[in-house]
Each structure stands twice: as C-alpha cells, then as structure tokens.
Amino acid sequence: MRVLVTGGAGYVGSVVVEELLAAGAEAVVVLDDLSSGHAGAVSLPARLVRGDIADTDLVIRTCRDCRIDVAVHMAASSIVGESMSDPARYYRNNVTKGLALLDALVTAGVGRLVFSSTAAVYGDPMVSPITEEADLSPTNTYGETKLAFERALRWYGGAYGIRHACLRYFNAAGATVASGEQHDPETHLIPIVLQVAAGKRSHVPVYGDTYATPDGTCVRDYVHVSDLARAHVLAIEGLSRNPSRAYNLGSGGGYSVKQLIDAAVEVTGRAIPYEMGPRRAGDAAVLVASSDLIRTELSWKAEKQDLRVILADAWAWLLAHPAGYRAD
C-alpha cells in the first residue's frame, strides 16, 4: 500500500497518517498546502509535499515518482459558517479543485480512493440514528460541496474504474499522543471547551437550550480521531472486495453540549464557564450516526466511545502542546 494523503497535515489527516504507518504502509506521502494544517503534524517517515491539490502536474509527478496506488482525499475547507458567507471558496476548494485532483489521479493511474465526507450531507434528518439511507439534503454550502464531490466520484468511479469509499464523519474528537486539534479560528466544541479550561478563553458560547433534547442543548455524536483514522485503513483494505459506497462514522451515541461541558469539568478539574445565547441558523437538534454498515462490512468498531476518554486525550495533548505545533 503506497498512499497519497491530501490534507494529511490537518487534524484528522495527521492521525490517518499515523495509522497508515502503523498498519505497515510501504509509503505515505502527504500533499498539503498548509492553509490550515501544520508541517509539524506530519509523522515521520511520511513525506510532506507542500502544494495544492489542483496543481495537476505536481499531483501526477508525485503519484508517479512515489508509485502511489491509493489516495485518501481529506484536503478541504470545512468551516460551516464560512461556507455560508463565502460559498465560492467552498465550491472552488471542495469541488473545482477536488475534480482537478480526481483528473490527475486518473491520469496517474491511481484507481482507489477514500474520501473524507461529512454528516453535513444529511442536513437536518428526520431519523435518528442516521443511516446511509437517510435523505441527502444539506443545509449549508459545506455539506452541499461534499455531496457534490461524492456524486462526482460515483460517475468518475463508473467511467474510469476508481474504486472508492466515502467516509461520512460525524464529530471527530480527541487526540493521539503526537497529534491533536489546532485550528485558527477554532470552531469545534471540544477544543473550545478545553481552551476555556486552560484559561485561553473566557467562556464557551452555547447556541440555544430550547431544542427537543433532554436538557435543551444540541446533541452530537463524537468519534475518537484514532477510531476514525483506523476506519481509513479498513476502508482501503475493503476497496478490493466491496462495492464503492458511503459509510457513516460515528460512535453510535450522542452527548448534549451541557453534558459535554460537565464531562470536561470532571476530566480537567477546572471551571468551564459558558454563556447561553440564541440558536444558530441551520443547527439540527440531534445528529447521531448509525455506524452499522461499516461495522458489518469492514469490521470497524469504535474503541474509544467514552466521552471522558475522548476529552482526556484531547486535554493531554493540549497540556503537552501549550503553544500548539511548532511554527511551519
């Protein structure tokens, strides 16, 4: 297995690289423009090629020189709010550039691909837990662009023989010893909560407590980034025997925002003030995945389902990296 990982210097990508190396991949090559990733997040002996996924010559040359046989496409723009104020950026990076990458992979003869998709392709589903059969009806540009790429992949797959798996992540969370979450701006709840615990922010903004959930705050499904990363290795292995398809990736349970803050107080032993604000447009009350398909078809299982374990790992990484990754 000789793998190209686009976006491998990002949060989830850096852990996928770790897992691929641990699984014995012969070569792991990261293609990343470092727009939101960090060179220091790429574990050795993976090689970092700094560049854009739409640089066709670079992609073809890299794939040929490194004899790549499978790609994991994780590079993307992925801030929901920004996708609504600047949809052009999302169509450009997630669709236009994504298609340029696909063309280059076809030219270079890379016939297997795992794609980082998202729960946002479902929008605000009527069913819970959400199966892969649920309606695909994104409520934001980010989800729409991820769905557009999934759909393109289906047609490319048929015509050019690309075997593929789309992994629809719910909320990636936690850390490994080496790799953690560092975004600027940070929009994900767990790092924000832990930054408050660490005294780097004054409070956690909470967007509404009038949802139809037990305590009124939104419920989300948090999946440990190591579990998520292991699914990529299984998905690559499964490409040779399974039809191309999409798999949900969640832990199978949900926690409300308030439950998460309470758990973080317990794990960190610190006070974590929060401020209740109005609802945010487009937030669904409950987003919890059914991951039955990936469990049965790829024998994947979340091993770190407990929210306290997820929080403890993320907290340990934050304490060990008070200034984040070294400057690139």
Which residue stretch of 35-43, 236-244, 279-287, 308-316 sits at the interface with ligand NAD (rule: CB under 6 A)? 35-43
Q: Does 172 bind ligand NAD (CB under 6 A)?
A: yes
Q: Does 145 bind ligand NAD (CB under 6 A)?
A: no
Q: Does 130 bind ligand NAD (CB under 6 A)?
A: no
* 204 touches 186 (CB < 8 A): no
**31 beta partners:** 6, 49
Active site annotation includes 142 = yes
The kind and range of the H/E element at 247 are strand 245-249
Which residue stretch of 9-17, 128-136, 210-218, 235-243 sits at the interface with ligand NAD (rule: CB under 6 A)? 9-17
Q: Does 15 bind ligand NAD (CB under 6 A)?
A: no
Q: Among 140, 171, 179, 256, which residue sits at the site for ligand NAD (rule: CB under 6 A)?
A: 171
Q: Does 174 bind ligand NAD (CB under 6 A)?
A: no
Compare residues 190 and 278 and give the one whose CB is closer to ligand NAD: 190
Q: Among 3, 12, 153, 311, which residue sits at the site for ligand NAD (rule: CB under 6 A)?
A: 12
* DSSP track, 286-318: EE-B--HHHHHHH----S---HHHHHHHHHHHH
Which residues have a Cβ under 8 Å from the Cβ of 81 and sit 6 or more positions away? 187
Whole-angstrom distance between the N-terminal and C-terminal Cα of the chain?
Answer: 28
Which residue stretch of 7-15, 271-279, 288-296, 310-318 sits at the interface with ligand NAD (rule: CB under 6 A)? 7-15
Q: Does 255 bind ligand NAD (CB under 6 A)?
A: no
Q: Does 10 bind ligand NAD (CB under 6 A)?
A: yes
Query: Least Å distance between CB 204 and ligand NAD?
Result: 17
- One symbol per residue from 61 to 80: x for binding ligand NAD (CB under 6 A), - otherwise; what is it? -------------xxx-x--
Which residues have a Cβ under 8 Å from the Cβ of 69 and sit 6 or more positions away? 1, 2, 3, 110, 111, 112
Q: On the CB side of 246, how many CA atoms lie within 13 Å of its CA?
A: 24
E strands, 119-221, in order: 163-169, 171-173, 204-207, 219-220
Residue with tokens 């996924």: 53
* 251 touches 222 (CB < 8 A): yes
Judged by CB under 6 A, the chain residues 103 through 122 that form the site for ligand NAD are: 116, 118
Q: Does 227 bind ligand NAD (CB under 6 A)?
A: no
Compare residues 11 and 156 and give the one whose CB is closer to ligand NAD: 11
Proportion of the chain in helix, strand, coil states, percent, rounded to 5: 40, 20, 40
CA distance 167 to 22: 20
Any idea which residues carry the catalytic annotation? Answer: 142
Q: List contacts with ligand NAD (CB under 6 A).
A: 6-7, 9-13, 31-37, 52-53, 74-76, 78, 93, 97, 116, 118, 169, 171-172, 183
